[in-house]
Amino acid sequence: MPDIALIGPRTLLFEKLFQDVGASYQFLSPVILGSPFLPQYRLVMIPSGFANPDYSQALPGLERAKSNIESFVKNGGVLTVFGPLVPEHNYDWLPLSLKYRCEMSTQRANPSEGDCSCLLCTTTPECDGYLIPGEGFDTVIKDDKGRAILVMAKYGEGLIVATTVHEFPAAEYIRWALDKARPARI
């Protein structure tokens, strides 16, 4: 059973990150989300640009797999989603309300210890926008204007972590997320 599913094409950079952490992984095409033949995963990652057809074809698959995504998190999985790279996006395929607005910037951030803020590799991350979290989400890191750039929600037995940080997650975050997660089907 792989530890991590990355929704999208195989990339050497993510492959190296997962190998450095010592995690098993699988790259999944969005068209097979929800297949009964997929194994369980502890962490599902959706990289930047998932809603922008210039970068990815993931959004239709995510929308079709809405109930599978909800079940994955509810049963203990950790879902990590980055910015969609479109002007505005409502994450209608998530079980909790979340909105996104695109606005490229570099932010000063002060990650704390012991939570998902370890996702950041730097204290001045590049962001592709900001989030408007609905009920259930806690804002973990804000930008200089007080807008959310990293949010987290407990949902059932699992977690949803969403960010507009436009960088690879830190290896420490991958270890943190895998430690928090239980195997579940997507």
In the chain, % helix, strand, coil (3-state, to 5) comes to 25, 35, 45
Q: What is the pLDDT of residues 105-132, one digit of tens each?
A: 877 776 665 689 999 888 888 899 999 9
**Residues forming beta bridges with residue 99, ordered by sequence position:** 90, 132
The answer for residues whose C-beta is within 8 angstroms of residue 37's C-beta and 6 or more apart is none
pLDDT lower than 50: segments of the chain: none
Residue 44: strand pairing partners: 5, 79
What is the pTM for the complete model shown? 0.94
pLDDT of residue 9: 80
Q: What is the DSSP string of 115-183?
A: SGGGG-SSSS-EEEEEEEE-TTEEEEEE-TTS-EEEEEEEETTEEEEEE-B-SPPPHHHHHHHHHH---
The CA distance from 163 to 151, in Å, is: 6
At residue 21, the 3 state secondary structure works out as: helix
Gap between the Cα atoms of 54 and 20, Å rounded: 29
Let me know: does 179 contact 162? Beta carbons within 8 Å.
no
The predicted structure's pLDDT at residue 167 = 85
Tokens at 157, concatenated: 């037995």
Q: What is the pLDDT of residue 112?
A: 60
pLDDT at site 149? 94
Q: What is the pLDDT of residue 169?
A: 93
Q: Which helix (H) or strand (E) holds 30?
A: none
Residue 122's pLDDT is what? 82
pLDDT score of 121: 83
In this prediction, residue 114 carries a pLDDT of 62
CA pseudo-torsion sign 184, 165, 143, 125: positive
